[in-house]
Amino acid sequence: MYILLFIICGLSLFRCEETVSPPNSMRLDLKVTVIDTTGFSEEHCGSDLVDSASVYINSISYYTNNDTISDSLGNATFIQIIPDRYNVSISKRVTINLNEKNLDYILNGQIQDVNIFDDYALTAHVYPSLPGQLLISELYYNGSPPQPPYNIPQYFHDQFTEIYNNSDDVIYLDSVIVADLDFGHADEDFIYAVHANMFPGSGHDYPLYPGEFIVLAQDAIDHTVAVPNSVNLSGADFEYFVGGGDVDQPNVENMIKIHHKYGIDVLYSVFNDAVVLLKVKDPYAYGYSQFDLILFPKSAVIDGVDYRDNLAEVEYKRLDASIDAGLTGGFEAYKNKSVHRKIDFYKNGRAVLMDNNNSSIDFQVLDHPTPGYLFDE
């Protein structure tokens, strides 16, 4: 029996190695031409062919990543890549001086799940957007594994959303809404939220200074008491409170419940979901779908992140490229992992986090969450 097992393991190992590194004769070249047909690049850079853009390709089956820079004709060439299904992401920063103020635009595009099994040329469209000033810096939705002898099954009450001021100015959290979205609503103008909760305050009560974090907990308690390798969220700044038997930590501010389709708390899916920050004058102004989802205009979204356990399932993305052109996650539920924005650069000692509006390149996976602080680089 042991011998048989050994042989099976050995075989699968061999097969795995063999597929990851096919011989060079099997490899192929890919040319990506980056183009901006919105008129933005033509006006500000002199051509609709986009030079100096970072082009990233990742193989869906083998998780390999490659990146290169587009040339003066907008062409990015990849030599001798493995034949596979690929996701392609493009990003370029363009600084525009408008009324004596520098605005850092991002040209951003994504092509999902393209079959590249022969030499191939494709055209990728990019769209201009402004990167977020107020960002979701970390999302811990994963939950904790069961830990004997505590006998608690998969634990998800320790979820939290970390928000960061990525700008040079004070930002007030007052009336900012945090919402998670339903899948399958390809609406040009609206997003469809399952849960929506608003920060309290009347305009200037909750300042967030440049480089500062806040933590919004599902429940602001020390979760390590129940599950030792979970997180201590007793120092969280805000918590979701939906009423009923939900925890209400008296010294931690509650979010204002705007919409709550279901659940004993505001639970993000441990498998796949999308979370956004947005701000509107009247959260009830846009109505509801027939499935009891609350609508918000897409134009009100400040930042968003789309995640999924299986990164190959890009067809199930909940956010479009105007908010998040990519997908983060890629791990099993209940592993204690979190997704965190990468550090783009430092400005006067303050970390500026990456926001290409593409979580495939902006986020990385941490083995343990970091509520209210930056991971060590």
Which residues lie near Ca ion (CB under 5 A)? 132, 138, 162, 219, 240, 246, 248-249, 252, 254, 265, 303, 355, 357, 370
Phi then psi dihedrals of residue 14, to 5 deg: -60, -45
Q: What are phi and psi of 6, to 5 degrees?
A: -60, -40
State in angstroms the smallest separation of the CB of 15 from Ca ion: 39
Contact 302, 357 (CB under 8 A): no
Q: Facing residues of 363 across strands?
A: 341
> Nearest approach, Cβ of 314 to Ca ion (angstroms)?
18
CA 154 remoteness from chain centre: 23
Q: Kindly state the smallest distance separating residue 217's Cβ from Ca ion, in Å.
A: 7
Neighbours of 346 (CB within 10 A): 10
Nearest to Ca ion of 116, 308 (CB atom): 308
d(CA 75, CA 69): 8
Closer residue to Ca ion, CB minimum distance, 60 or 361 = 361
Minimum CB separation from Ca ion for residue 242, in Å?
A: 6
Give the residue with the Cβ less far from Ca ion, 70 or 358.
Answer: 358
As measured in angstroms, the least distance from the Cβ of 138 to Ca ion is: 4
> Which residue lies nearer to Ca ion by CB, 48 or 265?
265
Task: Quote the least distance from Cβ 128 to Ca ion, whole Å.
Answer: 13
Give the number of C-alpha atoms closer than 13 A to the C-alpha of residue 106, restricted to the C-beta side: 23
Give the nearer residue to Ca ion in terms of CB position, either 59 or 357.
357
Nearer to Ca ion, 152 or 312 (CB): 152
Closest residue to Ca ion in the complex (CB): 370
Burial annotation 299-336 (CB, 10 A radius, 16+ → b, else e): ebbbbbbbbbbebeebeebbbbbebbbbbbbbbebbbb
Contact 192, 289 (CB under 8 A): yes
Q: Which is nearer to Ca ion, 33 or 91 (CB)?
A: 91
CB of 262 to Ca ion, least distance (A): 14
Find, among 153, 145, 147, 204, the residue nearest to 174 by Cα: 204
d(CA 304, CA 326): 11
